[in-house]
Amino acid sequence: MPPRKVIRRSHRKSRLGCHECKRRHIKCDEAQPTCENCMRDDRTCTYQRPPDSARRTVSSQSPDAISETTSYTGIPMSQCVPSTVEHSNTTSPSVTTSLDPRFLSPISSSLQSSDLSFNLRHMQLFSHFIFETLPSLAETGSVDHEQTRTMMPMMLSQPYTLYQLLALSAMHMSYTHMEEANRHLEEARTLQTQALCAFNDAHMEVTVENCVPMLSFSTFIGLHALAEVAGNADAGAGGVLDGFVTYMNLHRGVRAIISQSWTFLNQTSVASIIECAENAINHASFSHRETAVAVAHRLHTLLDQADMSERSRQVCRVAASQLNIVYQTGSDSAAPGSGLIWVWPINLSSEFTHLLSMRKPEALIILAHYAVLLHRRRRVWLVGNVGGILIQEISQFLGTFWKTWLDWPNEIIAQHQGDTS
């Protein structure tokens, strides 16, 4: 008896389906802004920009479509940057119905005219940033609401800043929702890629209108990089020193923006925040805390005895002097102290980070003393064990010849061994 032929049921091929349905090789109902498959499985739904004739067809079939152009939202990770993170199958209860981007920032013409689409998942991330991520970045655990009220409208005025803000929120959720960590990490990478694309597409000069968003964007990029280093440190992945030097170079981008926009920044509503930071630095320069004095003396002696060029010695002296100010603003105890700890990487010169990249012992020893301050802030999620591991890696790299200069940082680590409080 001849074998039966399997007759395939005929169906209309979906040529205008969304990227996600095509990737999964399933039929798409082509509903916009979100097809039924993506809505059911809580996936990000995006469509390729169709030709004019096809676009007219789609418009007639989907009168509720909010956009006829390809949006940044939902760029698949595989098309943006390499990822070794396996996406979690656990889904979120969020609905991905698109919202009019004007609701985010009514005063922003850039968001209204840009090719953007925001959904309820973005709203969840934004809410998480305000109520969870932002307080977690403050060493006291509380937010200065007046500063937030001042900064937020300006940060929301540019799409690249908003996307990076959401990326940092997703990164934080990978720490607070460990059961879905992979999903949130992939989401963070996708959002950061969208932020970088939006920033690169802007092609703009620094102005009084965009100087604060650019400053915020650069700051968030640096913090995001530090959180990635902390994640690798907690996972025991190694290479923390290399990753941290990369973070420092990224965070120095804040300095580049400030130098270009200092006049503009003082014309904005953040001028009072800048003035407070300057006053804290000036006040610290007149302090004489015991630990700060000891660290300054140790590093000064180190550089006096250093076998290096006069230029490199001067570069290291400046870095050590700036680090001493951070120690002056802090506490001699394990208390977190001043937020000026984040200013040190920003103020570093490219010459000093180059010395770190070249593994110059004197520069590494200065970094180890900064790592002590990071270790005191190990309960902050984007710091974690970075400080302790930095000191260990530097000590192992330099060996016994430089051991004396690293005795104090290692003693601090030993005092808190196994202590996560």
Residue 44 lies in a domain: yes
Query: Which of 8-12, 99-103, 114-118, 189-193 holds the top average pLDDT?
Result: 189-193
- What pLDDT is recorded for position 71? 34
- Of 33-47, 243-257, 312-326, give the lowest mean pLDDT range: 33-47
Same domain, 139 and 50: no
Same domain, 27 and 116: no
DSSP code of residue 247: H
Q: What is the DSSP code string of 182-195?
A: HHHHHHHHHHHHHH
Looking at per-residue pLDDT, the higher value among 390 and 22 belongs to 390
- What pLDDT is recorded for position 32? 75
- What pLDDT is recorded for position 364? 98
Question: What is the pLDDT averaged over residues 314-342?
Answer: 76
What is the sign of the dihedral through the CA atoms of 175, 181, 182 and 186? negative
Tallying the residues shown for the chain, one arrives at: 421
The tens digit of pLDDT for each residue in 52-94 reads: 443 333 333 333 332 333 333 333 333 333 333 333 333 333 3
Same domain, 57 and 105: no
Same domain, 39 and 113: no
Q: How confident is the model at residue 29 (pLDDT cuts 50, 70, 90)?
A: confident
Same domain, 305 and 169: no
Looking at per-residue pLDDT, the higher value among 54 and 181 belongs to 181
Looking at per-residue pLDDT, the higher value among 145 and 332 belongs to 145
- What pLDDT is recorded for position 97? 34
- Of 185, 203, 221, the position where a domain reaches its end is 203
Query: Which of 57-66, 97-106, 224-233 holds the top average pLDDT?
Result: 224-233
Question: What is the pLDDT averaged over residues 129-137?
Answer: 90
Residue 246 lies in a domain: no
- Residue 297: which domain range? 271-415
Same domain, 411 and 278: yes
Same domain, 47 and 177: no
Residues 22 and 28 sit within 8 Å (Cβ to Cβ): yes
- Angle in degrees, 0-180, between the axes of helices 403-415 and 386-398, rounded to the nearest 10: 150
Question: What is the pLDDT averaged over residues 336-355?
Answer: 81
Residue 256 lies in a domain: no
pLDDT above 50 for 344: yes
Residue 211 lies in a domain: no
Residue 257 lies in a domain: no
pLDDT above 70 for 420: no
The tens digit of pLDDT for each residue in 408-418 reads: 999 999 987 65
Looking at per-residue pLDDT, the higher value among 136 and 320 belongs to 320
Looking at per-residue pLDDT, the higher value among 68 and 301 belongs to 301
pLDDT above 50 for 101: no
Residue 112 lies in a domain: yes
Residue 368 lies in a domain: yes
Same domain, 278 and 392: yes
Same domain, 405 and 308: yes
Same domain, 57 and 103: no
List the Cα angle 53/22/119 in 5-degree steps.
80
Residue 353 lies in a domain: yes
Same domain, 26 and 135: no
The structure's pTM equals: 0.67
- What pLDDT is recorded for position 272? 73
- What pLDDT is recorded for position 339? 60
Q: Which residues contact 62 (CB under 8 A, 6 or more apart)?
A: 30, 31, 32
- If one counts the domains in the chain, the total is 3
Same domain, 46 and 130: no
pLDDT above 90 for 215: no
